[in-house]
């Protein structure tokens, strides 16, 4: 499997730590760095800074919410980063969440699978240097052509639900999952391959963001658990954690208690169900489980509470490149 690195954007750590993570990933020879965004840096600004402060690592920007940015602005941003940094740069599209789209941005979030499919088609054409005339139900672009060099990086769609998986199978070079168990990977791979076959297309590469910590301290375990609080009650994710043996916890989370109560009820074992944690040998076993489930790429999200810049974890994981 390919191993790449994700800028984790932990909310309990300084935003600037992501530059240190990027430098560590670059120095250790990881081939690609994923750069998303949450509540701190704009993704294109961070990607440009990383490109100018590292030597060789390729960049993957996103997933960017299709309800927040138009395909034109996403393609322009990716092409700008590629031109300014001289790095191979890829685009990842996603649906984002109701909180981010509707509350933070004040936009409508609807029919996200259709929006993903249409946005991917427009963005792909723009990044290829084409003049686009596309009028979909939710995404449109007419008469625009980038005046920068074409960008050859793959188009990725983040997916989890069946409709988004079908969109990725038909319109993406790579499908991205987040925080999944091996059992869920196997099912989603089967869905993706079936949808690609029906569309007469080759199946995309299958990648997953997985939180990772080698020999973590208690504060790192808490950091990783906090990142899962909001997923326990979510449709699809809740069922995944029930399957993994955490049914009582999911039932409790769906009563909508305060997040601190959910966190207090979460066992440490929850992390290992959908991530990479423990001694190096434990992580090797989990990597093999994900490989057997059909994952082509593991995107390492390094935990940093007791490991600034993810230096220890990335050093050990780089030995598996």
Rounded Cα distance, 94 and 234, in Å:
17
- Give the pairing of strands 132-135 and 140-144: antiparallel
Tokens representing 80? 């700008």
Quick: pLDDT tens for 31-67: 999 999 989 999 999 999 999 999 999 999 999 999 9
In the chain, domain spans: 2-215+274-318
Quick: pLDDT tens for 93-128: 999 888 888 999 999 999 999 999 999 999 999 999
Long-range contacts of 157-161 (CB under 8 A, 24+ apart): 157/63, 157/92, 157/93, 157/94, 157/116, 157/120, 157/204, 158/62, 158/63, 158/92, 158/93, 158/94, 158/95, 159/116, 159/188, 159/192, 160/188, 160/236, 160/237, 161/113, 161/236
Quick: pLDDT tens for 186-235: 999 999 999 999 999 999 999 999 999 999 999 999 999 999 999 999 98
What does the CA dihedral 199, 203, 209, 212 come to, rounded to 10 degrees? 150
Cis, bond preceding 173 (omega within 30 deg of 0): no
| pLDDT score at 153 | 86
Confidence of residue 82 (pLDDT cuts 50, 70, 90): very high
Q: What is the pTM of this model?
A: 0.95
Tokens representing 47? 């990607």
Across 257-267, average pLDDT: 96
Confidence of residue 305 (pLDDT cuts 50, 70, 90): very high
| pLDDT score at 98 | 85
Across 237-247, average pLDDT: 96
| pLDDT score at 97 | 87
Rounded Cα distance, 91 and 79, in Å:
10
Chain Cα centroid distance, residue 298? 10
Quick: pLDDT tens for 133-172: 999 999 999 999 999 999 998 999 999 999 999 999 999 9
CB environment 224-251: b (16+ within 10 A), e (fewer): bbbbbbebbbbeebbebbeebebeebbe
| pLDDT score at 200 | 97
What does the CA dihedral 4, 193, 247, 6 come to, rounded to 10 degrees? 10
Rounded Cα distance, 167 and 206, in Å:
14
Asked if 92 contacts 69 with a C-beta cutoff of 8 angstroms, the reply is no
Across 226-253, average pLDDT: 95
CB environment 156-183: b (16+ within 10 A), e (fewer): bbbbbeebbbbbbbbbbbbbbbbbbbbe
| CATH architecture, domain 2-215+274-318 | Alpha-Beta Barrel (3.20)
């Amino acid at each position: 499997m390919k191993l790449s690195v994700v800028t984790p954007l932990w909310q309990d750590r300084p935003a600037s730590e992501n530059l240190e993570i990027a430098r560590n990933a670059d120095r250790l020879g990881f081939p690609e760095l994923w750069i998303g965004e949450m509540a701190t840096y704009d993704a294109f600004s961070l990607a440009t800074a990383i490109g100018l402060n590292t030597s060789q690592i390729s960049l993957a920007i996103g997933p960017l919410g299709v309800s927040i940015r138009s395909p034109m602005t996403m393609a322009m941003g990716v092409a700008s980063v590629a031109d300014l940094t001289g790095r191979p740069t890829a685009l990842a599209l996603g649906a984002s969440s109701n909180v981010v789209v509707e509350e933070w941005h004040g936009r409508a979030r609807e029919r996200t699978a259709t929006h993903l499919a249409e946005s991917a088609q427009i963005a792909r054409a723009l990044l290829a240097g084409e003049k686009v005339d596309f009028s979909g139900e939710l995404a449109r672009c007419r008469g625009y052509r980038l005046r920068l060099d074409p960008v050859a990086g793959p188009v990725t769609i983040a997916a989890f639900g069946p409709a988004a998986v079908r969109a990725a199978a038909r319109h993406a070079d790579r499908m991205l999952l987040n925080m999944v168990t091996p059992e869920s990977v196997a099912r989603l791979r089967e869905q993706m391959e079936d949808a690609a076959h029906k569309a007469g297309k080759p199946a995309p590469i299958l990648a997953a963001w997985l939180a990772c910590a080698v020999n973590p301290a208690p504060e790192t375990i808490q950091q990783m658990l906090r990142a899962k609080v909001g997923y326990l009650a979510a449709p699809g994710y809740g069922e995944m954690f029930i399957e993994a043996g955490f049914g009582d916890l999911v039932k409790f989370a769906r009563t909508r208690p305060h997040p601190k109560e959910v966190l207090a009820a979460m066992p440490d074992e929850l992390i290992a169900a959908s991530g990479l944690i423990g001694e190096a040998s434990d992580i090797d076993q989990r990597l093999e489980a994900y490989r057997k489930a059909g994952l082509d790429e593991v995107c390492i999200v390094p935990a940093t509470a007791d490991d600034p810049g993810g230096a220890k974890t990335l050093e050990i994981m780089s030995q598996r490149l």
